[in-house]
Amino acid sequence: MPKLMLLLASLLTGCTFVAPARDNAQWTTTVHDVQVTWRWVTPGALVRRQGAPFAGYTMTGPLARKCVVDIDPTLSRGDLVRVAAHEYGHCAAGWYLKLGANTEGLSAYHQQIWESWPERYAQAYLAACGNSLKPLGWKDIVESKCTQAPNPRTFNP
């Protein structure tokens, strides 16, 4: 019996989902009633099927009030505010059921129906708040041009 249990346990461990390695850097913020758990990932851990790595990745779903955002600190360097605002856009889109936006002028990647609204949100965030992460609940020495992030309930790109 113990051998059978050991065999079953080893089979179960072979079926588990393996997440990218993390350096345990994570924190949670709440913006417009959406709770985001932000996580730094090991550089290069967010690789797409085509082989090019993502700078950020969001795990959310329809009507999900909570989400998890993974950010590659190396790939997002120099563009972190846009990446974070875009990924928050995915979280807000899930909770507030936002999908699609005007795709004129967006890259081919951002023209996809599930990418256009978050990208337009990121653009609006940068225009309203500047290069500060404070409105997303982060600690940031850069002062924000806005008191809060654009409201996803009323944002209509």
How do residues 64-119 score in pLDDT, each as one tens digit? 899 999 999 888 888 999 999 999 999 999 988 888 888 888 778 777 778 889 99
Residue 51 belongs to some domain of the structure? yes
Token pair belonging to 71: 């950010």
Percent of the chain with pLDDT over 90: 45
Show the domain range for 110: 21-136
CA distance 84 to 136: 8
Residue 52 belongs to some domain of the structure? yes
Residue 151 belongs to some domain of the structure? no
* CA terminus-to-terminus distance, the chain: 62
Residue 114 belongs to some domain of the structure? yes
User: Nearest-5° angle of CA 75, CA 56, CA 144?
Assistant: 85
pLDDT of residue 101: 83
> What's the pLDDT band for 53 if we cut at 50, 70, 90?
low
Residue 32 belongs to some domain of the structure? yes
Residue 119 belongs to some domain of the structure? yes
Residue 145 belongs to some domain of the structure? no
Residue 39 belongs to some domain of the structure? yes
Q: How many domains does the chain have?
A: 1
